Amino acid sequence: MTTVKILVSDKLSSQGLDVLKAAEGVEVDFRTGLSPDELMEAIGEYDGLLIRSATKVTAEVIAKADNLKVIGRAGIGVDNIDIPAASKRGIVVMNTPTGNAVTTGEHALSLLLATARHIPRANASMHAGKWEKSKFKGTELWNKTLGVIGLGNIGRIVAERAMGLKMKVIGSDPAVDPALVADLGVELVELDDLLARADFISVHTPLVASTRGLFNDETFAKC
């Protein structure tokens, strides 16, 4: 039986590593913290590469990957992988689009609540021995408008849970199916309309050329 060699170059949970190690005909090397030069030197002997966000799979790395067949991203974003370079060499790039979607959506709402109630600043004030109750009273989320930019898996999770907090949710996403958004109870609007109406805004877009610098002086001025 041919042995498949996989390099895991970023931190991964022990449960994930155990799944790989238990697979028949798979040899796993767990080597984190490789420099770009070290990765280029090592990658040629591997059939698979498993990463998270720390490893940068550049065109230079891929040029050295003579045996590589697949790059697996244990997460959603693949902006740290040169996909065109991988495609030219026939290397499949895979991610896990729903793997941590609920966790990320809940975390976004946690940050929203913390911001609305000034929790980080109030906590720091309390630890400093102060009692500034009126300074950090914050604002309720009830009946406020949340604008969700990007209505993919995570954006929709945020929208659903925000409605459970009795917020009105509007969303902007040129690629989403309007019928899907309507089923969620989210009002689909243009970006400028969202910026003007929203009390809070949560952004859930991939980092691509069209979204880089999405918020700037011009867009903030419309809020």
Q: How would you write the pLDDT of the chain (223 residues) with one tens digit per residue? A: 688 999 999 998 888 888 888 899 999 999 999 999 999 999 999 999 999 999 999 999 999 999 999 999 998 888 899 999 999 999 999 998 777 889 999 999 999 999 999 999 999 999 999 999 889 989 999 999 999 999 999 999 999 999 999 999 999 999 898 888 888 999 999 999 999 999 999 999 988 888 999 999 999 999 9
- Please indicate, yes or no, if residue 79 is contained in any of the structural domains: yes
Q: Structurally, how many domains does the chain consist of?
A: 2
Same structural domain, 90 and 29:
yes
Residues 10 and 90 in one domain: yes
Quick one: DSSP state of residue 67?
A: S
Asked whether residue 8 falls in the same domain as residue 82, the answer is yes
What does the DSSP 8-state code read for residue 47?
Answer: S
- In this structure, are residues 151 and 202 in contact, taking their beta carbons and an 8 Å threshold? no
Task: Note whether 17 and 76 are same-domain residues.
Answer: yes
Q: What residues contact residue 220 under an 8 Å CB cut-off, 6+ apart? A: none
In this predicted structure, what is the pLDDT of residue 20?
87
Q: Residue 8 maps to which CATH number?
A: 3.40.50.720
Gap between the Cα atoms of 206 and 112, Å rounded:
20
Nearest to 27 by CA among 57, 48, 44: 48
CA–CA distance, 201 with 194 (Å, rounded to integer): 8
| Inside any domain, residue 181 | yes
Q: Are residues 12 and 67 in the same domain?
A: yes
According to DSSP, residue 43 is labeled G
In this structure, is residue 133 part of a structural domain? no
- Rounded to two decimals, the pTM is 0.71
Q: Are 146 and 168 in contact (CB under 8 A)?
A: yes
Q: Is residue 126 part of a domain?
A: no
Residue at a domain's end among 94, 123, 146: 94
- Domain extent for 77: 4-94
Predicted pLDDT at 221:
96
Backbone angles phi, psi at 181, to 5 degrees: -65, -40
**Separation between Cα atoms, residue 156 and residue 221, nearest integer Å:** 26
Alpha helices in 23-100 (DSSP H): 36-42, 59-63, 83-88
Domain final residue, candidates 94, 115, 149 = 94
Q: What is the pLDDT of residue 97?
A: 79
Whether residues 84 and 166 share a domain: the answer is: no
CA–CA gap between residue 76 and residue 56 (Å, rounded) = 15
Half-sphere CA count of 125, side-chain side, radius 13 A: 12
In degrees rounded to 5, what are phi and psi of residue 104? -65, -40
Q: Does residue 25 lie in a domain region? A: yes
Q: Is residue 154 part of a domain?
A: yes
For the chain, how are helix, strand and coil distributed in percent, rounded to 5? 40, 15, 40
Pick the last residue of a domain from 60, 94, 128: 94
Whether residue 170 is contained in a domain is answered as: yes
Residue 192 lies in a domain: yes
So what's the pLDDT on residue 1? 62
Kindly state whether residues 84 and 12 are assigned to the same domain: yes
How far apart are the C-alpha atoms of 12 and 51, rounded to whole Å?
A: 8
